[in-house]
Structure 1
Amino acid sequence: MSKIYEIDPDADTLVVVRPLADAFAPWPAHDHNGASPTSASPAVPTADVRIKVSSKHLSLASPRFRDILAQKAAASASSQTSSPTRNGYKTPPASPGKTTPNNINSNSLWRKEVAPPSPPHSNYGGSSYSQTEEADGRIHIVLEGLDADAVTTVLNIVHGRGGKDRVPKTVSLEALARIAVVVDKLKLQDAVEIYADRWVDAVGHPSASNSRRELTLWIYIAYVFQRDAIFREATKIAATQLTGPLPTLANLPLRAKIAHDIDAQRQEAVSKALDVVEGAVDTLLANSEDNNADALLLGTLLRTLHKHKAVWPRPAAPYAGVSIAGIASAAHDVQTKTWQTAFRLGDSTRYNNTNNTLKLTPQLDSLKASVAGLTLKSELGYNLY
């Protein structure tokens, strides 16, 4: 049975939220970036949620809702041109010479500029919706592809119902991502800005310890709520840690250009790291015949890099399975293990001289730190995504 949630007791509109067809943003089980233990999402609800709301509040807050309601008005006007009344309100007579191209009275209570009636179902910004006028006298707007709890929270904010029982003071990263999808698809950034700033600050910041899925949620949240510093940090971590492009996650409409640009930075960093590694190998090959420490370092380096798919044959773009963080970490491990072995053999001085000459790990660390991440706006202030 559908759950009914009343936001406006005098509601003229009923928003019906269909249950998600798929789990929210599940991480692929066999993705090239590796599955995460935290990739599972909560169970999908099985019933509609019906929310009583005001069309005036929806129109003022959301251009998406405004267009949906305008299309409904156009469809109703088109079907009732011979009727003197509309939902109990008398339509003013048309003024001569002041009709729209669709023959809709320009002095009507409805919008002057209206689009032609749309099909009963259409896709709007990635979310399916439809609108019908039911026996209860309300306009019904059906939303799909959105989380019902997130929709309810956002519509409470839109209607000024900000009590703690209606709008939480803090939310989890998961809940914030679900809210971000609603805000993004219905263009409600201005309406929820104050709450969004509070929620984002309370959740914290992205870090390298986040799972791949959590990092993806952070990128999307920062994009939707225009938090440039967080967006830059999250995309920087992704470009250094990921071993392939971000996958498409169900019910999370991350822009394809964002995923593409992150992977472009990843590939550029990996290519430069491989150049550094090959330079170190060439140097060690030239010295290994006369230097046991160099031979030891060369052997250990080649075995470790081969294990991480980072040497012969040199991986080709798009470097699937390889990350700059993985290469840098492997080099750190190689030099630590080799130094310990050289110390036991009494050859640590010669090893240290080679290590200082190569500067392998400092070069890779510097390269990893140089990955910039993405920014939301250009230098001239234009939105890039």
Structure 2
Amino acid sequence: MSKIYEIDPDADTLVVVRPLADSFAPWPEHDANGTPKTLTNGHSSADVRIKVSSKHLSLASSRFRDILAQKAAAAAASAKAEAASTTAVHTNGFKTPPQSPGKITPSSPTQSLWRKEVAPPSPPRSSDEADGRIHIVLDGLDADATTTVLNIVHGRGGKDRVPKTVSLEALARIAVVVDKLKLQDAVEIYADRWVDELYRKGVPSTKNSRRDLVLWIYIAYVFQREEIFREATKIAATQLTGPLPTLANLPLRAKIAHDIDVQRQEVIGQALDILEGAVNKLVEGSLEHGEDIDAAGEVTNSDTFLLGALLRTLHRNKLFWPRPAAPYAGVSIAAISRAAHDVQTQVWRTAFRIGDATRNNRTNNQLLLTPQLDNLRAGVAGLALKSELGYNLY
């Protein structure tokens, strides 16, 4: 059964929010057998009907203004067609008498029975619905989020109608409503408060919070928060091991996902160049110092151990050899940087135990492996919302 929510007691419009066909922004996961499964969130199974004012909708949203204009045009066309069908049975203002086999003279009493009739005007109508209201049906939106946004549009900002704080999940659902209905200006004051409160906790950067990261990217885009958008997209470009997935009921722009993955692939390609150069130097022995040979003819320096440890670690992380090709599925610059740190830490400890720490430090200083990778990772810029000339990029 539909739930009715009244925002305007004198409403001339009824907004009908259909239940979501799927969970909101489910993150695709895979079990041990590789079978896709989905993290779901509960959603309503019934329509929600919201009584609102068409005037408030038109003033707040160009999208609503277009919808109402289309409905008004359709209603006018329907009224015109109905009027035309009513007058079609008239000829010169007189009802046409039935055909008679006999000739009827002007003085015939039969003719006097047919008098001039004028069709009554059709009353103006704004809706074909039985309740006389304009009905606007919305799909793909969360009912609670839509109700919250429409309360803001109508100036009904009491604590029972518009919350002072929201969760990241709730804000993402609100952002979808705002995005689809073009209501950024109407909710700006509330949105700034909600975003600032959540941002105090920071943008997630671990692999266990990938869905939250995508929600943050979308929220920052919708509410035009440049700093947050740049930070969140930078984290995505450095942490993710593939392109952003498409999440149901979350209309993240495809260009945003594409540009993030372009940055991800570019920095991974540069990191692999650094790794390949380090391996070549160790293989060729082109570092400044030579190898120390003991009395038995064995190499005693840590360069060989560093090479072996590096190759083994890279192989374990599917980074080298052979070198992975773009789009580098399963690879991130963060993972490459961590692997290099682990290798050099392991080698340094081993070299210290065998008394070769000094040579190992010289090797590290010449390779500059971890500093280069750290600088490369730090140099990822993330995405900007606007160009240098102030144009929106997405």
Asked if these proteins are the same fold (TM beyond 0.5), I'd say yes
Cα distance in structure 1, aligned partners of 2:30 and 2:376: 29
User: Is 1:201 matched up with 2:239?
Assistant: no
Structure 2 partner of 1:228: 226
1:222-245 per-residue CA deviation (whole Å, 9 max, x = no partner) reads: 100000110000000000011111
| Residue 12 of structure 1: aligned partner | 12
Distance (Å, rounded) in 2 between the aligned partners of 1:67 and 1:184: 15
Q: Work out the CA distance in 2 between the residues paired with 1:29 and 1:346.
A: 48
The correspondence of residues 151-300 of structure 1 with structure 2, limited to 5 A, is 151-204=146-199, 205-209=202-206, 211-287=209-285, 290=299, 292-300=301-309
The code of the aligned residue for 1:206 comes to V
**C-alpha deviation, 1:211, in angstroms:** 1.1
Question: Could you tell me whether the CA contact under 8 Å between 2:204 and 2:212 is conserved in 1?
Answer: no
- Give the letter aligned to residue 156 of structure 2: R
Quick one: distance in 2 between partners of 1:274 and 1:19?
47
Aligned to 1:67: 66
Q: AA paired with 2:246?
A: T
The 3-state SS of whatever aligns with 2:279 is helix
One of 316, 332, 335 as aligned partner of 1:323: 332
Structure 2 counterpart of 1:143, one-letter code: L
Take 2:300 and 2:356, find their aligned partners in 1: how far apart are those partners?
10
Write the distance in 2 (CA, Å) between the matches of 1:230 and 1:41. Answer: 26
Q: What secondary structure does 2:29 align onto?
A: coil
Partners of 1:383 and 1:74 lie apart in 2 by 33
Query: In structure 2, what is the Cα distance between the partners aligned to 1:85 and 1:76?
Result: 11
Structure 1 residue 286 displacement after superposition:
2.2
Q: Do residues 378 (structure 1) and 387 (structure 2) align?
A: yes
Partner of 1:51: 50
RMSD (Å), alpha carbons: 1.9
Question: 1:101-158: per-residue Cα shift (whole Å, max 9, x none)?
Answer: xxxxxxxxx9xxxxxxxxxxxxxxxxxxxxx632111111111100000000000000
Per-residue deviation, 1:62: 0.8
CA distance in 2, matches of 1:13, 1:363: 61
Partner of 1:368: 377
Distance 1:42 1:246 in 2: 20
Give unmatched runs, 5+ long, in structure 1: 88-109, 111-131
Deviation of the 1:291 alpha carbon: 5.4
Gaps (5+ residues) in structure 2?
Answer: 84-120, 292-298
Alpha-carbon offset, residue 42 of structure 1: 2.1
Counterpart Cα distance in 2 of 1:248 and 1:42: 16
**Equivalent residue, structure 2, for 1:26:** 26
For residues 275-319 of structure 1, the C-alpha deviation after alignment (integer angstroms, 9 at most, x for no partner) is 000111111112396553011111111111111111111111111
Preserved CA contact (<8 Å) 2:239 2:334: yes
1:114 equivalent in structure 2: none
**Counterparts of 2:55 and 2:270, CA distance in 1:** 56
Deviation digits for residues 211-261 of structure 1, max 9, x if unmatched? 111111011001000001100000000000111110110000000000000
Residue 86 of structure 1 is matched in structure 2 by 124
Using the TM superposition, name which of 331-340 and 183-192 deviates more: 331-340
Letter in 2 for 1:253: P
Secondary structure of the structure 2 residue equivalent to 1:86:
coil
Aligned pair 1:340/2:349, yes or no? yes
TM-score (norm 1): 0.85
Q: Is the 2:240–2:332 Cα contact (8 Å) retained in structure 1?
A: yes
Which residue pairs with 2:96 in the alignment? Answer: none
Percent identity among equivalent residues? 77
User: Does the CA contact (< 8 Å) of 2:19 and 2:143 recur in 1?
Assistant: yes
Instruction: Give, in whole Å, the separation in 1 of the partners of 2:166 and 2:198.
Output: 7
- SS of alignment partner, residue 313 of structure 2: helix
| Distance in 2 between residues matched to 1:242 and 1:173, nearest whole Å | 20
Distance (Å, rounded) in 2 between the aligned partners of 1:259 and 1:42? 23
| Contact 2:28/2:39 (8 A) holds in 1 | no
The alignment of Structure 1 onto Structure 2 pairs a total of residues equal to 338
Inter-partner Cα distance in structure 1 for 2:30 and 2:187: 36
Shift of 1:3: 1.0
3-state secondary structure, aligned to 2:219? helix
Which SS does the other structure have where 1:295 is aligned? helix
> 1:30: Cα distance to partner?
3.5
Moved more, 277-286 or 155-164: 277-286
